[in-house]
Amino acid sequence: MVLERFSLTSACSSLRVLPVRIGEWLVVLVAFAWQGAWPVPDVNEPYYLGKAVHFWNPQWCPRDDFFATGDAHEVFYLTFGWLSLFLPLPVLAWTGRVLTWALLAAGWCFLGRCLGIRGWTLVLSAILFAAFQERMAMAGEWVIGGVEAKGFAYAVVLFGLGMLAAGQWTASLILLGLATAFHVLVGGWSLVALFVAWLMNGRQPHWKMLLPAVLIAGVLALPGVIPSLALTWNVPPEILREAHRIYTFERLAHHLVPGCFRPEDATRFLILTGLYLGASFLWQSTEAWQRIHRFVLGSLVIALYGWMLAWTVTIWPEFAAAALRYYWFRLSDVAVPLGAALWIGMVASNRIAVPGPFRAALVTLGTVGCVFHLSSYVPVRTQATLPRTEWTDVMWSTWQSGQTAIMWSIWQEDPIARREFRQWREVCQWISANTPADARFLTPLTKSTFKWYAGRSEVVTWKEIPQDAASIVAWWAKLKDIYLINDPIRGEWWARNATDLGEARLSDLAQKYQFEYILTQRTPPLNFEPVFCRPDNDYVIYRVGPTKTE
């Protein structure tokens, strides 16, 4: 009878709190969606969703070289990409976004409750995390945005950290192993940070107790680890060295090499890190919080090693290129904002004892910060805006500096970007309706959405760097062969459009790379057959050869 009464009481209690928990989750979900709901496609969505579509339907853009390169995210393609068989790309993107945000919100709520953060303080901490992570990341890592594999991986990491806070080391290990399957670097670095936290915890629990969980985590991680390792298998050493150099120094230095980080980004991150470490040192909390804090410290240990490796860039560049390609600063860009937001949430929940006036001031500042962060999105959520794939450098720099009003005035006062976007979509839609499905195009160097809108193969773009070593070297050689101009007066410079290359070179390139169409600017005109040329559109399509099906 006692057990029956206990079970009934527990069930009734769970039913009473369920609406509250659902409400918390919904509010956090809305906050995350408010931040991440950019027009499709977002920056990386053509890259990852294009790969996912081609994975399930190889006849989509069948002659695109990027889609033929090695894959590192098979788990993402298998678990989510199959929806592309039934959903068009924009719907696929929104479906993936909502699913990712819902999982991230659920993971945050679970983690917060494991630390004793509930109600409005849980929502406060979630919005602060979103704000800190968006505005104070050093290496450009992001969590809330478009759909790709790492969004699902970070959601699993949040659940794993909740288990860590609850003292369930085995469950935490297993979940981080699952995160590694989705994204080898997100989950892999999280496992390393968990190991550092375990060392700081006095190597408790004993390693023998954790061994079964380690084995399970390793097995779960294999679908992410093996494809990543295969990207460099059977590659000659000279090709491997060149691939590392291209990847680290030529294409992704802004994420990988500290000397290439924006100074203002590094400054904001260091300020947040210093404040967080100082506050955590002065005011201690529960053992549950200490476990999360040690995980954050683990992420900083990883970043510190990355900084030390960066010292070798000038004295041993080959080693630096090989070592820095592993995104040493990715986890700290997420973990420090996470730790800072949770610490404030625990102060607001009276889980960390601080002086009353300090608590009141901190909660007030946190609330004001949340209002500022959410309100900064009002101009770009209440009116039609461009996808971030079409942003200019000026738009990016003003947004990252938090100057939303300035960015919006750029759109309003200078409609060039809007007109160019309309024209780009118009020409891509014409291509989709009027060219063979197996047609292959030479497109502008920096455009990343051609396949998204046109659904046709293209030769090469700056955005679509492959993952496997051999393809990276081939991609870079192709970029330089087509777009790099050696001018005796101006020196080397990158041509953004085919009009800079001249008819003779374009004819040779068409033979070499087997493309039938050129999509470029209308002026100056080229001596090829135009198949799309309208006075109200700055783009033109030239035909330079028959398609494979003709």
DSSP designation for 498: G
Distance CA 385, CA 334 (A): 27
Residue 382: pLDDT band (50, 70, 90) is: confident
The residues facing 541 across adjacent strands are 519, 532
- Say whether the peptide bond before residue 236 is cis (omega within 30 degrees of 0): no
Q: Where are the domains of the chain?
A: 23-375, 388-414, 418-543
Short-list 62, 100, 128, 110, CA closest to 362: 128
d(CA 206, CA 174): 16
Segment 257-288, tens digit of pLDDT: 999 999 999 999 999 999 999 999 888 778 99
Separation between Cα atoms, residue 122 and residue 115, nearest integer Å: 10
Nearest 5°: CA angle at 532, between 528 and 537?
115
pLDDT digits (tens, 9 = 90+) for 329-379: 999 999 999 999 999 999 999 988 888 899 999 999 999 999 999 999 988
Express each pLDDT in 140-157 by its tens digit. Answer: 999 999 999 999 999 999
Give the span between the Cα atoms of 548 and 354, in whole angstroms.
72
Percent of the chain exceeding pLDDT 90 equals: 79
What is the DSSP secondary structure assignment for residue 251, as one 8-state letter? I
Which residue has tokens 């085995």?
Answer: 170
Please check the confidence at residue 408 and state whether its pLDDT lies above 80: no
Question: Within 10 A of 262 (CB to CB), how many other CB atoms are there?
Answer: 15
Distance of alpha carbon 500 from alpha carbon 498, whole angstroms = 5
Which ranges of 66-148 does DSSP label H, i.e. alpha helix? Answer: 74-79, 89-114, 119-135
Q: Which two tokens stand for residue 459?
A: 């030769």
Report cis status (omega within 30 of 0) of the bond before 524.
yes
Angle at 439 between CA 473 and CA 466, to 5 degrees: 20
Residue 279: per-residue pLDDT: 93
